Structure 1
């Protein structure tokens, strides 16, 4: 009996097995995210949404994540519902996102050069002067469409039953039948506008199709993000507490490398699938791939090692982390840099694929280029230590990251063909990769016992999501008014100016050293002085200096 209990206990605290299972979980989950999230804004363009509308939707997504992700993580821990939240988040997000496939495209720009033979409108407009009159005389709710082809009016009345067929009626534009048809349609529009005031959601029905699509997509994306946001932090918290109980928190960093690798695989797989099946399925493969990976992740989520403490943990870690950042000038510079890079990164992720599509790029070009960026980020830690040693201080990697991102944005504005983006994507290791490596090192510099993970979460949550929300919002308006080249070039200039400012401030502001262990033994963490001189001169160093002086005096005397 005792042997059996010992075997169960050793199986329960199998750290290596827990790390393997968690790595598989994050790999599959990141594969699913890589299949869909980078291509969302491209799908919004397919639906007919403008750049401003797309920016508002993505900004709402980031701001919802900023608020809901930490709150949901705390609630899941407090009520001991982490596994329920993880599994529920996987399944609900996988199903909710499919609602977007129910929306018809409201776009007016067809993708030329792809599957032309399958477009039925080609025969109808071949060699004709085609003008759509729907926006001028037809209400958006009407099932009647009027076209003008070679001075001939085409009236197409679509039946209520989508399975039935209909035949377009051709009449001469100068005939009485045409005048009667136009008069009838105008009267129909007036009647429908009057009835809208008494109907539910009448204000939404009164909008044109594009604005209707915008609000519907905004609602669905908000619901989807509400379901998906708690997933990653809740799983990470459970694993960290599990490793903390067995004193193996140093292994927690080994899981992070699987996230960019999984995202890269998802980018590549969906790029190949969509390009191969585009003429048959369009872009639905992105959504179904995401759903499939989320469902495949459920079995690993059900077996995740989630240790729940018997006693309540203090919930003031976030406030302590904020105080540590506020008291350290180098950490404040790091936080400001994360906000600015979040603005730039969100603008790039939202509209880079639009720019590539304008240069005749297909999903396979986009998927491979995105995968290269994530692989470059995953490989940066292999040589980050040597690079930081060469620069004499890891904080200079932060300056390097801003410079690299500025060069990337400038390069994006001069794309000339789909494959020309590859050099800029390889540079992502020196931009995004160097940024987060430097952030992690800065957190280690200022962290007190028990706040290391909270500090990293603070940078990932508040500055990054806040900057991403502002970036998406501003990028949508700038692109709508000035174009994508001006957008990327403007971001590049802002980052270049900040890199110079950041280098000057880092040169001027002295770096605060880590708190000595002897000081931690004799003082409470809340009583630590902010002064660098107090941190350098503790009782142990003073005693050692006195001892050295005494020995020197003895030698001189002899």
Structure 2
């Protein structure tokens, strides 16, 4: 009894709520905008879907394993602290990856300001233009080609096969007046591409200036081409080109048969895939480990009924994080300190909020119940769900909702960006959706009187269908806001229906395990499969058809779900703990349920025969 009095339940819940608020706020600063960052770097939708799908599958497998290992070795607090530090460090490492510059999305920033700088501005003594065709193109003939020079032509350095770094050559406008005649470029060497051709004019010397295979001069209108034999350097250059061609042919089978060469874009993709996998590996144990420690702490103090009070703090924290970072980024210039893109603010906010959560984690209420072994809790929960027909229907609905919801989570901001939305619009719309979801508990009493949990599950899926259809027809920056209000039913109602289903299926002490099964089906497995499929759909058909396809698939399930629920047998489990804890008022309000409960009938008969108290032995 003394040990229970020493436990400060209110203080523990306050610490747990603060920790949940900070962690959810940190995740909301970066995770909703992560796919937008991939798009800015130049990754394709298919690459983005593969990265996000891999992230969800790692969480599906590693979260329960890490939670069990931390409990087995009694290292929960160390795992939580290490996860906070490593997650912030890996997130900052992602900023070191350069962009691929392939189909790069510049978002709403005025990139015209970025393209001009003092170093590349107009100058009377320096002329710059395009450099011609890419390196991969080689001359198709070995004839002498004329290249007339004007004041707008390119002035580039010559790069010979033996040179490692070409020396820059600056040409003034005065020297260009001396080049009245067309200049001739010798292309007898097939290994020299047009990108390496340069024109060098020297106005201080009247003699021809020879640089590699190009002859320039002001005295001679026609310079004879150089026709020397190939040197050993030229032969080595040809061998190197042959080796490059052979290497390029070996890479043609990469990336689902579409990868012809290992270019910068695919190198960035593989590096990002490795870093995001590492990031998820260090951050996945955080939520499960802290959640298990808090629940066992409250269960030890006989206050497990107050365990769910921290959920609302997570939603409020996420709303504050996504709305606050959207407002902050919208006030920042496109480049921070002249070189860092403003998308880095998401990563800095994420790392900063995790740093604030570190001192809270040091005092977080954790408890290790060595008497209870829940290593097989998830397996038992899967067996309970599999043996209940209505629970299976709820599980299938959760899986399909997770697949369709991944389209919203991964590519909604892409759709908004294409219609002129900025970070401010995105953050405000996502915050409105989270606040709408958090407001559903206020409507639970009214909804439960009108609809059964099975009907509420159907309403939630149908609301998501309407949202996806609406997202496919956006027309402006703020057009998404009305659809976000439906999150009260598409997310909030679904979570409530799943929670009721868990209480109806689970045995005593297995409610959390059953609920985690549903969360894994929707948030990890469904989201992972939906990310893989959604990326390829966007790549092939576009963003609008992704949302329409998700709505069509979920609509078919909504039409089949009522029929399946009607055909499924109703199996009601007797909840002994709820029955024993019920008082007389609760018993009178649920007379129809008590009539079907044989244990309650026996208790009433015993009360009529014996005026003494009732006693039930288990």
Distance 1:420 1:23 in 2: 34
Matches within 5 A, 1:167-206: 175-176=184-185, 181-182=192-193, 191=240, 194=243
Aligned counterpart, 2:489 = 430
**1:224 matched residue in structure 2:** 279
Query: For residue 398 of structure 1, what is the aligned residue in structure 2?
Result: 457
Q: Deviations over 1:112-146 (max 9, x none)?
A: 76234532359889xx99687337449xxxxxxxx
1:60 Cα deviation from its structure 2 partner: 0.4
1:542 Cα offset (Å): 6.4
| Alignment correspondent of 1:512 | 571
Residue of structure 1 in register with 2:78 after alignment:
84
Question: Which deviates more, 412-421 or 264-273?
Answer: 264-273
Describe the shift of the 1:414–1:82 C-alpha distance in structure 2 as closer, same or farther (beyond 3 A): same
Is contact 1:41–1:54 with CA below 8 Å preserved after alignment? yes
The equivalent residue for 2:268 is 213
Which residue, out of 102, 109, 118, partners 1:114? 109
State yes or no: 1:283 paired with 2:338: no
Residues 116, 520 of structure 1: alpha-carbon distance in 2 compared, 3 angstrom cutoff: closer
Aligned counterparts of 1:135 and 1:376: Cα–Cα separation in 2: 54
Deviation at 1:229, TM superposition (A): 0.4
Give the structure with the higher percent helix: 1
CA contact (8 A) 2:108 2:422 kept: no
* Residue 476 (str. 1) matches residue 535 (str. 2): yes
Query: Partner of 2:442 in structure 1?
Result: 382
Instruction: Give me the whole-angstrom Cα distance separating, in 2, the residues matched to 1:131 and 1:383.
Output: 65
Corresponding residue number in structure 1 for 2:146: none
Q: Distance in 2 between matches of 1:178 and 1:154?
A: 18
Paired residues of 1:193 and 1:206 also in contact (CA < 8 A): no
Partner Cα distance (1:491, 1:177) in 2: 59
Distance 1:446 1:97, change over 3 A: same
Question: How has the CA–CA distance of structure 1 residues 132 and 458 changed in structure 2, closer, same or farther, with 3 Å as cutoff?
Answer: farther
Q: Is the 8 A contact 2:25 2:322 kept in 1?
A: yes
Once the 2 structures are TM-superposed, how far is the Cα of residue 109 of structure 1 from its aligned partner? Answer: 3.6
Is 1:326 paired with 2:386?
Answer: yes
Please list every run of 5 or more consecutive structure 1 residues that lacks an aligned counterpart in the other structure: 139-147, 159-163, 522-532, 549-558
Unaligned runs of 5+ in 2: 123-127, 139-148, 160-165, 197-233, 255-259, 337-341, 581-592, 609-618
CA-based RMSD of the aligned residues comes to 3.8
Trace 1:85-484 onto structure 2 (pairs within 5 A).
Answer: 85-107=79-101, 108-111=103-106, 114-116=109-111, 118-121=113-116, 133-134=133-134, 136-137=136-137, 152=153, 155=156, 175-176=184-185, 181-182=192-193, 191=240, 194=243, 207-281=262-336, 282-311=342-371, 313-391=373-451, 393-484=452-543
Q: Do the aligned residues in 1 keep the contact of 2:508 with 2:577 (CA within 8 Å)?
A: no
Q: Is 226-235 or 107-116 further displaced after alignment?
A: 107-116
Name 1:48's counterpart in structure 2. 42
1 CA distance for matches of 2:446 and 2:270?
50
Deviations 1:251-276 (CA, angstroms, capped at 9, x unpaired):
01100111111111110111111111
Provide TM-score, normalisation by structure 2: 0.75
In structure 2, distance between residues paired with 1:71 and 1:292: 28
2:553 to 468, 491, 494: 494
Distance 1:168 1:330, change over 3 A: farther
Task: Give the length in aligned residue pairs.
Answer: 512
